[in-house]
Structure 1
């Protein structure tokens, strides 16, 4: 029986804070991605789970994971810029770059044997690896200033991986998922290359002896140093600088190619050098 004297609503109840509720949901997404990384069990696209999810929301989810890892003692080794080539933007159906992070325990060397089972659905991309000789902090960093901050240029391969089921991603999904970063491989020796020659430098991705794609530096956002300047300026909005000694990957020359156990991937810079990695069971 209904108590007719009971109030229809509690006027003293605290109002719902939609901002806090959204932030709680984003924090939950971050935990979901952390668990997916640990369990190697992908999750549904985040864009379908939060109406009107924005790029700022996605970077908040990414930061939840970064803060979790650094609080646990992992050491930041550098940053990656992704989706800087037309090939990668077409492959993922986006029209702007993104960025993510990687830790020292995610970096492999030339000739490394890398367990394919450590990833969910890995692909590889050939890239430059810029090691910085000085701090680079925006806003207002120019391409010229970014080039002057580069100490050495290494051959690199990014292993991208998606914690989102079947690579069913849009920009907010990949950004939240740490720009789909899985691991990094970097050569032992720098390329004998001046930053002024980057635009014309050729690189091919070779999988099991077959060239699957080729490009030059100009295919990386018109100038591969441009993503470095872009990253320094974007991070400045959060009060974050790129530090001396960090490794920065500016984006791929080609579209990404899948790899499995038994695959060998090479970033071939011709006479300048190369980087080879092997995927094991």
Structure 2
């Protein structure tokens, strides 16, 4: 199976769920940091989607049994204030489309045993998207400064991994522009009001029932979720 085939599988899943009445809440870009690319042995980003019933709020208690092999990633969450239609979207245009920036955590999951996956596997598996958690209040940060923001992934109160926005393709807005351009080649736009996650600051870490995960943005705030 090639990459185009993998995205065709993903698109079929999206259309099947939409036809069943599920509501698209946003998109995710994955594998945007050196840490994540090294962890999964790939050299390019990918993208997927999530529905509104996959989105949790701050302090959510999330059943770990609802996943196969969950891992957590600390991320930004961008809520768009205007549509983005590629191809040809620049970094500046992507910045201008961002209305609010939130603390977010993506719960990634895999149907492939032991996470022994290649790029085509994760793409066909909706970019390994299991669920999303997003803060209730936006972060007080200028979108022009996101590359310098540091985020630490904390598991059960212990700081485990840390990275800056620069680790996310040089600037966390770059994956948003990339996504808009890739989707634009398919005639698909990112709509105002959609939530877009641009990728993890750090490598993903496994979680089990009884543990908490925090995306700690220092003085900007944090987001914590609990697995039960």
Both proteins in one fold, TM over 0.5? yes
Q: Who is 1:254 aligned against?
A: 202
2:135 is equivalent to residue 184 of structure 1: no
Choose between structure 1 and 2: higher strand proportion: 2
* Other structure's SS at 2:178 match: helix
In the TM superposition, structure 1's runs of 4+ consecutive aligned residues that sit over 2 Å from their partners are none
Please give the residue correspondences for 1:1-281 in structure 2 after superposition, counting only pairs within 5 Å. 53-280=1-228
Uncovered stretches (5+) of structure 2, i.e. residues with no partner: none
Give the Å deviation of 1:236.
0.8
Q: Deviations over 1:183-222 (max 9, x none)?
A: 0000000000010110110100000111110011000001
TM-score norm. by structure 2 comes to 0.99
Find the aligned partners of 2:12 and 2:193 in 1 and give their Cα distance: 24
TM-score norm. by structure 1 comes to 0.81
Structure with larger Rg: 1
Q: Who is 1:43 aligned against?
A: none
**Number of residue equivalences:** 228
Find the aligned partners of 2:88 and 2:185 in 1 and give their Cα distance: 11
Find the aligned partners of 1:220 and 1:61 in 2 and give their Cα distance: 26
Find the aligned partners of 1:103 and 1:91 in 2 and give their Cα distance: 26
Greater relative contact order: 1 or 2 (C-alpha under 8 angstroms, separation 6 or more)?
2
